[in-house]
Amino acid sequence: MIPVRRSPSPHTYFEGTCGEPVSKAKSPGQEPHIALESHSAHSESSLRHRLASLWPTKRHASEKPSVTTAYGTATSTTDFTVTLVPPPPTVSVFAPISGRVGTVVTVTGAGFSGASAVTFGGVPAPVFTVVSDVRLTATVPLGAVTGPIAVTTVNGTGASTASFAVTVIPPRVKPAIAKLSPTTGKRGALVTITGKGFGSRRGTSIVTFGSRKCTKYVAWSATRIQCRVPAEATLGKVKVRVTTSVGRSSPKRFVVKR
């Protein structure tokens, strides 16, 4: 058995496999050993293919391995190069933690330099900016679903443990009247209008009987409105409509009585 040490530090010993980072170091007095078939040039070549030294602060490092026996020390004429592969990016936190499509999200973590992709729940975000190695911003893409935020670089892909919640806003629809109750009545009579797309609050939305606007509203929801026939409504047949910021409904007929 032949003790093997890494130069230039005579007091640190490593063992590993060619092309792989060394897994552990042994302190003085705990020298690792490797069995060689013979003390020949072939043995040195075999050794080079079984040992690697770790330089934690460098991505690439080279050194000529040497073998020491009772007969002396032999040093390779060829450098053994260890390539340290950086870890994939990590996503630590992001803010805000929820939002709708188009929201700009700030992502914090590590290893973002050279990022080639950012995804929300697996859906790619076409718009993102790498601010630094530890921070980037990304815009929630169309079609995004609730899920982790992932960042991809040449070193791999890293995803958040927490999920970004995509807020889905129902599309706004044009108001539509399904029914009037009653369909006839005097000025000042209470009329119930049912349908859809009225909006949860009245705001600037209105109900008209012919050319006259209702001024007295009793109730208003997305599917039901109660209001009184305007005092100035034209007698006879009139068209009732609901108008919101999205548009105006098709008319329903109402008969204003004396």
- Residues 44 and 50 sit within 8 Å (Cβ to Cβ): no
Q: What is the mean pLDDT of residues 87-91?
A: 95
Considering only residues 60 and 131, tell me which one the structure prediction assigns the higher pLDDT. 131
Q: Assess contact for 113 and 153: CB atoms under 8 A.
A: yes
Tell me the whole-structure pTM to 2 decimals.
Answer: 0.48
Using the predicted structure, report yes or no on whether residue 51 has a pLDDT greater than 60.
no
pLDDT one-digit tens code per residue, 211-221: 999 999 999 99
pLDDT value at position 60? 55
Q: What is the distance between the alpha carbons of residues 188 and 231, in angstroms, rounded to a whole number? A: 6
* Contact assessment for residue 135 and residue 94, using Cβ atoms and an 8 Å cutoff: no
The first and second tokens of residue 236, run together, are 């006879």
Number of residues assigned to the chain:
258
Unique residue bearing structure tokens 């009579």: 189
Residue 42's contacts (CB-CB under 8 Å, 6 or more residues apart) are: none
Mean pLDDT computed over every residue of the chain:
81
Higher pLDDT, 15 or 166: 166
Place of tokens 């026939």: 229
Helix, strand, or coil (residue 43) = helix
Please give the structure tokens belonging to residue 169: 């806003």
Is the pLDDT reported for residue 52 higher than 90?
no
N-terminal to C-terminal alpha carbon distance within the chain: 116
Say whether pLDDT at 111 is over 80.
yes
Place of tokens 């909006």: 199
Measured on CA atoms in the order 34, 35, 38, 42, is the torsion positive or negative?
negative
Structural domains in the chain, CATH included, are 2-83 (no CATH), 90-166 (2.60.40.10), 176-257 (2.60.40.10)
Distance in angstroms (rounded) separating the CA atoms of residues 21 and 53: 7
pLDDT of 246 over the 60 cut = yes
Which range has the worst mean pLDDT, 48-52, 167-171, 224-228? 48-52
Residue 46 has pLDDT above 80, yes or no: no
